[in-house]
Copies of this chain bind each other. A is one copy, B any other.
Amino acid sequence: MRGRVSTMLKNWIIPIQPEKEELEERLKEARERLASLQMKLKEHKLPVLILMEGWGAAGKGSLIGKIIKNIDPRFFKVVTMEQSDQEERRYPFLHRYFVEIPEAGKFALYDSGWMNEVCMKRARKEIDSQTYQQRVHCIKRFERQLTDNGYLVMKFFCHITQEEQKKRMEALLAHKDTRWRVSESDRWQNQHYEKCEKIFGKYMEDTNISTAPWYIINAEKKKWAQLQVLETLCNGIDIAMQNSSHAVPILQNVFPLVTMPKLSEISLEEKTISEEEYQAQRKELQAQLRDLHNRLYRKQVPVIICYEGWDAAGKGGNIKRITEALDPRGFEVQPIASPEPHEKARHYLWRFWNRLPKTGHITIFDRTWYGRVMVERLEGFCTENDWQRAYNEMNEFEKDLYDWGAVIIKFWVQIDKDTQLERFTARQNTPEKQWKITDEDWRNREKWDDYEKAVDEMLQKTSTTYAPWYILESVDKKYARIKALKIVIRRLEEALN
């Protein structure tokens, strides 16, 4: 019989299955097409993320096995996710998915992922409707950020009926060797099929965005399922490769902002402190911070401290006065230089997702993701559309961290142009400090005005109430250090009370 129509998950309709002969022919064609596309993918530097979701026992794993058969092993990885373990729970919800995103020119195939996690938790009432909504928002932002940044995101849902699922599970359970493949969750799903179907359907409606739509696969017949996935995938790749440098709308900010001054409005005068006063206050404040760090650890609060500022503004020394007070087992300083090739090949926030603290830990970033709207903007390392979009993307990133429970403190270390010149000259003239000054520093200094404009815009657009910027006036470095210590202490106390 040529084709049969079946209604799935309310409104979703499967394509009509071709006859056996046509099926075989198209399968052969699709496999060859995918095999040849992988090389073009490489040239186009297109990263492809394939999310394979669906019912338990729908054959997601074997489907992934069939796809990768046509791809060179150097060009793909399969990402499997078990129930999030203890360690994973110490990171934000999307962390374990984000760190696995593919690099440019390669495939990552997720053997179920964030959909399954959210939907099954919702079905089993482990999260309430509000948390569900929050996660869906978070997922939509995640997927949009990927596609906005040039990723191809292909989302498949493998569908089988309740009867078919039961039949397959029974077949697996009947043999000692395959019994382990039926999880408790699969069994629960089959017993609560209708409930799950409703939740899956709603989720797919909620997340069916035009840049990363859902494709429902009829997985009752294996070869037919394979063909649907292969053809849809090849079409998706073809389309994505046509859009190598595509600009996307700049979204309006939806996060609450605090007012920030322009750099030119910040007075640097009288922001000084005597050596005596400094030593007394420093000791006192560091003792307080030491105590807070212990309490943080017990309360499992993650803390992220960001440093940005002019060259020679005194970031290093400032950071040191913070870390001196911290238990070395509970913090890390992450110096951020230009991205490595494997970092450049991924979403620009990827390397920061990879450097997050665990709950209860502190990470200090010496320079941050804000390089996107400063050096990358001014040196033309990304397009205008990229950096304009980045303000919102970074607010979203920090919102995810905040929702996870993190304290986020962002410092701009401020000096004036003359002070910088003095310090540059001093470095140049002091043999043991010469390594600290490079030609690049002098070149950047020439662009002071452009940088100042970019910094002003950054401060205006990314100082959210949940992750505000603080200015550290650092002509007197000691003053800046005391101010930083006080701010960190205040924010941690707020988080702990």
Q: Which residues of A are at the interface with B, using a C-beta cutoff of 8 A?
A: 2-5, 7, 11-13, 15-16, 144, 147-148, 209-216, 232, 235-236, 239-240, 242-243, 245-259, 261, 385, 388, 460, 465
A465 CB contacts on chain B under 8 angstroms: 5
Q: Is the interface of A mostly helix, strand, loop or mixed?
A: loop
Query: Does B210 contact A2, Cβ atoms closer than 8 Å?
Result: no
CB-based contact A3/B259 at 8 Å: yes
Contact A257 B385 (CB under 8 A): no
Asked if A243 and B246 make an inter-chain contact with CB atoms under 8 angstroms apart, the answer reads: yes
A250 touches B239 (CB 8 A): yes
From B5, B249, B253, B256, contact of A256 by CB (8 A): B5
Question: Contacts of A257 on B, CB cut-off 8 Å?
Answer: 3, 5, 13, 16
Counting chain B CB atoms within 10 Å of each CB, the highest count among A209, A239, A261, A465 belongs to A239
CA distance A148 to B236 in the complex (A): 15
Q: Which of the listed residues A7, A148, A213 has the most CB atoms from chain B within 10 Å of its own CB?
A: A213
Q: Is the CB of B210 within 8 A of A254?
A: no
Name A236's contact: one of B147, B249, B256, B460 (CB within 8 Å).
B249
Known contacts A5-B258, A259-B16; A239/B243 CB under 8 A: no
5 closest cross-chain pairs (CB), A and B: A242-B247, A239-B247, A3-B259, A215-B252, A144-B210
B247 A12 Cβ-Cβ under 8 A: no
What distance in Å separates the Cβ of A264 from its nearest Cβ neighbour in chain B? Answer: 13
Q: List 16 A-B contacts (CB under 8 A).
A: A3-B257, A5-B257, A13-B255, A13-B257, A16-B460, A147-B210, A148-B210, A210-B211, A210-B249, A212-B249, A216-B252, A232-B252, A239-B247, A239-B250, A242-B245, A243-B246
Chain B residues with Cβ below 8 Å from A13 are: 252-257
With both chains docked as a complex, state the minimum distance between the C-beta of A218 and any C-beta of chain B, in angstroms.
Answer: 11
- Cβ-closest chain B residue relative to A210: B144
Find the B residue at minimum CB distance from A241.
B247
Given contacts A148-B210, A210-B210, A211-B249, contact A11 B235 (CB under 8 A): no
A7 touches B256 (CB 8 A): yes
Known: A11-B254, A210-B249, A211-B249. 11 other contacts (CB 8 A): A4-B259, A5-B256, A13-B256, A15-B253, A214-B252, A235-B388, A239-B248, A239-B250, A242-B247, A243-B246, A246-B246
- Name the B residues within 8 Å of A255 (CB-CB): 13
Chain B residues whose CB sits within 8 angstroms of the CB of A236 once the complex forms: 249-250
Whether B211 and A252, one on each chain, are in contact in the complex, defined by CB atoms closer than 8 angstroms, is no
CA distance A5 to B465 in the complex (A): 10
Chain B residues closer than 8 Å to A248, beta-carbon distance: 210-211, 239
Q: In the complex, A256 Cα to B7 Cα: how many Å?
A: 7
